Each structure stands twice: as C-alpha cells, then as structure tokens.
Amino acid sequence: MKVRAARARPATNANLYGARIPNVMQAFADSSMFSGEPEPRTEAQYEAEVETYLDSLGEEMPGALLKMGSSLVAAPKFVTTNLTQRNYERLEVRVHIAGDVEAEHTRSRTPKFEDLLPPRPRPWGPIRTTYANLGIPLNYRPPNIPIGPRTIVEHDGSITLTFPPIDLRPGKTETIEDKYVILVSSSRDEPVIAEWSATATNADGQAAGSFEIPFAGQTVSLRTKLEAADENDD
C-alpha cells in the first residue's frame, strides 16, 4: 500500500490582524527557511514502515476496542457502609473479579478511534518544514494539577481493584469508586462474582465477603457506536 503526494502541501493560515498589517506568519511560510525537503526514505524503507504499522495495528487493536467500550457504557458504583459503632481510619477495600473480565477508566468524552491506534507512517513525498521542526520553544506551560490517590488495577487474567483508603464513621456510606467500567464478553454465561476484603489501620484482621455484579440491558456493539460517532462528526 503506497500513498504518494506529488508535492509538499502548503500551510494554510488566517490573517487575524486585518489587511493593513502584513501577515508575518505567511511571510515566514513563503521564505526559503520553510521550503520543502526531498523524501529521505527509499520506497523499500517506506514499505517496511507500512508493514511495521500494520503489525502494531493488529497488536494494539484489542486495547483500543476496550478503551472505546469504556466510553460507551456506564460505570458501576462501588460503595461501602460502616455497620458498626466504630470509626475506621484509612479503610482500604480490595475487590477481585475472576474470569474473562476487564476494567477500564471512564473517559469524559468518546475518543476518536484513530487516536487510540498507533500513528500512521508519514505519506510518501517531500517534507514541508513546519515551525515545530525548527525546535522553537513554546512559552506556554501546562498547569501542574496534583493528582490524588487513584484506584490500582491489576490484570492477571482476572482483575483486582484496590480502592483509595478512606475514613469511615459509624453508620456512614461512602462511594469509593465510580470511574471504572467493568467489561465482560457477551458470550460469558456464568455470573460475575466479586470477592472483597477490607482492612483499616486502626483495626486488626480483615473483613471479607462476596457479591454479584449484575449486567443488564442490551449488548453494546462497538461497530454500531463507531458508525454513529462518525456520522455525528460529519
């Protein structure tokens, strides 16, 4: 598979300053320092890049589908209730779910499917120098937003979720996680049983038990959802 470009594509821009003020960015783009460079790869090297891309595409496709699924279905809410008259400090709850099951963090918006896949090789043809190629530093620095404790997910064929510790007063109920989607195959017939355990820094031993995670509603078809998302983008 070859994608060829007859010549370098010129950059597009908008003059934000009106017609009376020179378009400085256009002047830079038209200067020799932004001229195109010849294609440095041989055809064999380009074809090898395409083959490598197709191999990595097959490897990363399952993970991309899981990430898409996590943005299309609702996340369960895990809650804990203190049924005693004792305060528990740094109560830590772990949940283990056996079998063919995955856990993915929810996303605030449905990502574009192509963004979840490995980048494609650069199309064959001359290279247009861009401002990024010149190594010009940007003055903008993203804000340093501290991230608090998050759920730890261990995948080993099954999954184990360790929720962030909380303090829990007598008789109180707290949500300990509602941002992880639990995904199971539509062909799974047996119930999804979660085994839980809880410990606290001011209590000896641990509490344990199990519960069933109900799955209700229609099976989600990623293909149908992707087609609908593409139509909305158009």
What residue ranges define each of the domains in the chain, with the CATH number in brackets? 66-125+143-233 (2.60.40)
Residue 101: the pLDDT is 86
- 66-89 average pLDDT score: 86
How far is the C-alpha of 73 from the C-alpha of 222, rounded, in Å? 10
| Cβ neighbourhood burial of 231 (10 Å; 0-12, 13-18, 19+) | exposed
pLDDT over 60 at 9, yes or no: no
Do 181 and 72 contact (CB within 8 A), yes or no? no
- 105-133 average pLDDT score: 75
Do 92 and 206 contact (CB within 8 A), yes or no? no
- Using alpha carbons, list the distances in angstroms from residue 228 to 52, 57, 64, 222: 30, 23, 17, 10
pLDDT digits (tens, 9 = 90+) for 182-230: 888 777 778 889 999 999 999 999 999 999 988 765 566 666 655 555 5
Residue 2: the pLDDT is 37
Residue 23: the pLDDT is 53
pLDDT over 60 at 30, yes or no: no
Do 43 and 121 contact (CB within 8 A), yes or no? no
Helices (H), 87-153: none
